[in-house]
Structures are given as C-alpha cells and as structure tokens.
Amino acid sequence: VAAELAAAPVGAGGRLPRLWLVTRGARSLAPDEVPDLAQAGVRGLARTLVLEHPALRTTLIDLDPEGHDGAYLPAELTAGQDDEVAWRGDTRRVARLTRAAARPHPAPRPMVRPGGGYIVTGGLSGVGLYTAGRLAAEGAGCVVLNARSAPDPQALAAIEHMRASGAHVLVVRGDIAEPGTAEHLVAQVAAGGYPLSGVVHSAMTLDDCLVADLDADRLNRVWRPKAAGAWRLHRATRDTALDWWVCYSSIASLIGGAGQANYASANAFVDSLAEWRAARGLPALSVNWGGWAQIGRARDLTHDAFPMMPPPEGMAALAELIGRGVRGAAAMRLDPEALVRTVPETTRSSFFRPIVDAVRSADDLGTDPQALRALPPERLREVVAERLRERIGQILGYRGADLSRRTALTRLGLDSLMAVKTKNAVLADFGVVVAVARLLQGISLGELEDRIVGELGGEPEPQTPPPAVARAQARAQARLSARTQQRRNR
Ligand SMILES: NC(=O)c1ccc[n+]([C@@H]2O[C@H](COP(=O)([O-])OP(=O)(O)OC[C@H]3O[C@@H](n4cnc5c(N)ncnc54)[C@H](OP(=O)(O)O)[C@@H]3O)[C@@H](O)[C@H]2O)c1
C-alpha cells in the first residue's frame, strides 16, 4: 500500500495523500505493558517511509489495546501534526527522539559472571566476534559462537586469543532461524557444565532496497536471522535464569533507514521482543546501535550525522546498559547539525523535533520556501544554486564545487536511492516536488536548479550554449547570411 501511494500521481495542490498506519497495542508504554509482537515491525516501516517518502507524511497511531478509542481518532486524522502517536485511555502520547539524561546510578553490576557460559549468534564476525572477545577477556568460562559459515582466518585468530585468556570456546555452525539450532547452542553450554548466564543475538543479513521494491523474499531474507532467530533464542532460553539477554538492534528501527525498510522492521520486532520479555519479568535488552568503526558491516562507511563509534566505546555502552537493567536504548554518535544538513527530511518529522529545534535555535540552517520566494530573482538563483550544489554533492559523494552543471546526474552516479534522497532534500530545502522518475531520466544539476527557481517564481537562467555549440551556431548564421546575400545579388 505504501509503495502504491508513494507512486500515486500528485493530488490537488501538488500534495500526495497522507498515509496513516494504525496499530492496536503494538507499543509498550509502561514497564508491565506487553506489546503485540505481530504488529511490532510496522514501526520500522513507518519510520523508513518518513525518510523515503516525506511527502506522504506517514503517521503511526497506536490505539489502546483495550479498545478505548473514544472520540480522539477522527481528530487525530484531521488535525494531528505528530508522526508517531499512541493513545492509552484518554492520554495522548507522542514519540520524540531525545538524548538520555546521564543519571547517577549505583555501580553497574559487572557484565561477565566469572566462569559463566555465554552464547553469541553471528559470533564469527564483526560486532558479535568483538563482543565474544570482550566476554572471554572479562572472565567468561565458556563462549559458544554461532554462524552458518566456518570461521575465516580472522575469526580463527580471535578464537585463539580468547582461548589464551582461559575461555572454553566452541563454534557451532547452523542457521539460528531453523528449529533446533538455538536449543543446540544452549545444550553445548550445559554439556561443558557452565551455567548459561548471557545471550547476545548479533546474527543478521542485509538485502537493501526501497520500500517500492520490497517483496516477500527480500523481507523474509532479512527477518529470518534477526527476528525469527531472536524468537527461537527466546524459546530456547526462557526457562533459564540468565543475567542478561541482549539483541543487537539498529538505529534503523529507531529513526528509520532509507533503503532498509526490511532491516528497520526486523529490528523493530526485536526491540518489541525485548519489551515483551521484560514485561513478563524476563531479562531483556535491545540496543539500537549506531554504526561501528573498524569492525562489522559498516566499518568502511562514513556518515556526517552519525559518526562511527570506536568498538571500545560500544562495549562501554553495552556494559552500562546491562548494568542499568534497561530494556531498550540507542547507543550512537549523533551530530545534530549534520543530521539537519544531510538528512533534511528530519526537519519535517515531529519525532526529530527536539534535536532539530536545538540546532535551529543555535544556528538557523533551515530554508523557508516562503522566504525564498520573497528574494530578488538574482539572489534567489544564487541561494538555490549554492544550496542545491552542496546537497547533491553530499548525496553523490562529490565536493559541491566539482559538480558539472550540464552532466546528467545519473552519469555522475545517481542511483534510485540517491534519487529518493535528492527528491526529499529538494522538498525539505525548497518546498518543491520533483519526481524520482524525472531525476533518473537524466536531469542535470543546471536543469534541476532551473526547475526549482521556476517553481519558486524566479526567472529561468538565460541559456549560454557551450562553446562548441556557440561556434556551430555562428558558422550556421554566417552561411545563412552569405546565402541571403547571394540571393539578393542575383
Ligand atoms: N556493524 C554496525 O555498525 C552495526 C550497526 C547497527 C547494528 N548492528 C547490528 O549488530 C549486529 C552485528 O552486525 P555486524 O556488522 O557485525 O554484522 P556481520 O559482520 O555481517 O555479522 C553477522 C553475522 O551473522 C551471521 N549470520 C547471518 N545469518 C545467520 C543465520 N541465519 N544464523 C546464524 N548466523 C547468521 C553471519 O555469518 P554467516 O553468514 O556465516 O551465517 C555473521 O557472522 C547485527 O545484528 C546488526 O544488525 C551493527
């Protein structure tokens, strides 16, 4: 439905229809409120739609599980301005992204029980392998590492290191989404006589695509290890007295992930599963990680708004969260100014308001389309050209100054995800709707600039032909004048 709406023709007034996703009792708003897991993934989809298709103004409304809908729903649908709302009885709650306050707390309990047994799924690479190393270094008796493939040389070296610190390390290959694998991991810990003390679910697979291209296969591929795997681990360990049970989730489910609706929704499921377990008195924590530097899938990525987190910083955050006994939190580096600059869609989402408002009050980075329309034509073109060049440069990975005005953006590397980002940036910066299809049809920076200036009521730039065209035009003009002269002479 979301994909079809996003592809729908623009309606009256140049606006797309608004999309509401309505769940009932999907969220857990109190420590003892058990969320409905069947609806849990919708939140990741909703947050991703806010980023991929801001014009839809996707709004998530979670109704009271007891059905006390009252008279508020019609008002919500006609006048609601927030993009994430939950009603419980007559109380309206809205979701906002805020920094957790640093609270003084008693000394956190140590992460590792000396001699305890630990399971790490996805434990043969990336963040899982690093975590396992930390568990061994802190005195774990046994660490069982699970993945489908055999360990590579890097994993073998890390395992040797862990064994050298005294831990009994086992590799158990198998698909964590398949029945029996999780039980087998638990049995391996018990077989060595170790008390199972902690579980880290780090297994994952990615299959990125836009919501419009999502199908059941691509959803399933990403959901199986992450969500089905978490459920199997829950079933296999629910009767064991654990110190902690941790799912490695992602900021994709918290803030959305353009091109990652399947991943964001699978992570939203594990976030809810942790709340679901905690509400039933079971240990549970879901950590929405930002990108990790040096290890894991994101090690070669850079992001201005979410700078990568050095691994020791991630481990310190994990120890802190386990020590505090919270059931869910994000651990990420966030540069609010860069967020507003590089993900301008966030300026239109109430969820990001506390972060965006803090930036705006410090330094007004926003570009108000009404203010732009009031500018004199030359100044309007200057402002549009400068801002657009900077934005497109960020999206394509060029310095803005290096971008050609005449070359099709597709020839400069624009793909469909970049086209969506460009469309969203143009909407956020200038209030102008430009179709993704048009961007992918070979529009150049100069043509896009003309289009925006035109929409804002400015003059199209006088076209200066390129030198070769100008020479050809001059030659044609000269031939025409010569022929006219000859005719006159005859
Ligand atoms: N790296 C980051 O910056 C980052 C950021 C946010 C969240 N996270 C989360 O942190 C976790 C680890 O990320 P990563 O970057 O370290 O990932 P990674 O390097 O790709 O490791 C994923 C591991 O999961 C295993 N796996 C995949 N499917 C499996 C299955 N069905 N059964 C058992 N094992 C399976 C993989 O091995 P096989 O393919 O051999 O099975 C691999 O060992 C993930 O849950 C991810 O969502 C990471």
pLDDT at residue 76, as a whole number: 84
Q: Which domains does the chain have, with CATH numbers?
A: 2-94 (3.40.50.11460), 117-337 (3.40.50.720), 369-455 (1.10.1200.10)
Q: 16 CB less than 6 Å from ligand 1?
A: no
DSSP helix, strand, coil percent of the chain (3-state; round to 5): 50, 15, 40
| Mean pLDDT (whole number) for 195-200 | 98
Q: Which of 119, 121, 124, 125, when mutated, tests ligand 1's pocket best, judged by the most ligand atoms within 8 Å of its CB?
A: 125
Residues pairing with 24 in the sheet:
63
User: Tokens 């199209």 — which residue?
Assistant: 460
Q: 205 CB less than 6 Å from ligand 1?
A: yes
Ligand 1 centroid to Cα of residue 202, in Å, is 5
Quick one: which of 250, 209, 254 has its CA closest to 43? 254
Q: 390 CB less than 6 Å from ligand 1?
A: no
C-beta separation of 343 from 48 below 8 A: no
| Mean pLDDT (whole number) for 167-194 | 98
pLDDT tens column, 467-490: 444 454 455 445 545 554 555 454
Please list, residue by residue across 404-421, b when 16 or more beta carbons sit within 10 angstroms of its beta carbon and e when fewer do.
eeeebbbebebebbbbbb
pLDDT tens column, 258-270: 999 999 999 999 9
pLDDT at residue 343, as a whole number: 86
**Which residue type occupies 463?**
Q
pLDDT at residue 178, as a whole number: 98
Which ligand 1 atom is nearest residue 292's CA? 3
pLDDT at residue 465, as a whole number: 47
**258 token code pair:** 């353009």
Instruction: Inform me whether the pLDDT recorded for 457 exceeds 50.
Output: yes
Which ligand 1 atom is nearest residue 224's CA? 31
Total length of the chain: 490
Closest-CA residue, ligand 1 atom 25, reads 122
| Mean pLDDT (whole number) for 262-284 | 98
| Residues whose CB falls within 8 Å of the CB of residue 321, separated by 6 or more in sequence, listed in order | 285, 287, 329, 331
Distance CA 135, CA 199 (A): 11
| Mean pLDDT (whole number) for 352-377 | 70
- In 266-367 the beta strands, taken as DSSP E runs, fall at 285-289, 328-331
pLDDT tens column, 398-436: 876 778 888 999 999 999 889 988 998 898 888 888 989
Quick one: which of 432, 438, 349, 344 has its CA closest to 15? 432
The DSSP result for 466-489, as a single string, is -HHHHHHHHHHHHHHHHHHHHHHH
| Mean pLDDT (whole number) for 41-54 | 92
The DSSP result for 77-137, as a single string, is HHH---SEEEEETTEEEE----PPPP---SPPPPS--TT-EEEEETTTSHHHHHHHHHHHH
Ligand 1 centroid to Cα of residue 445, in Å, is 38
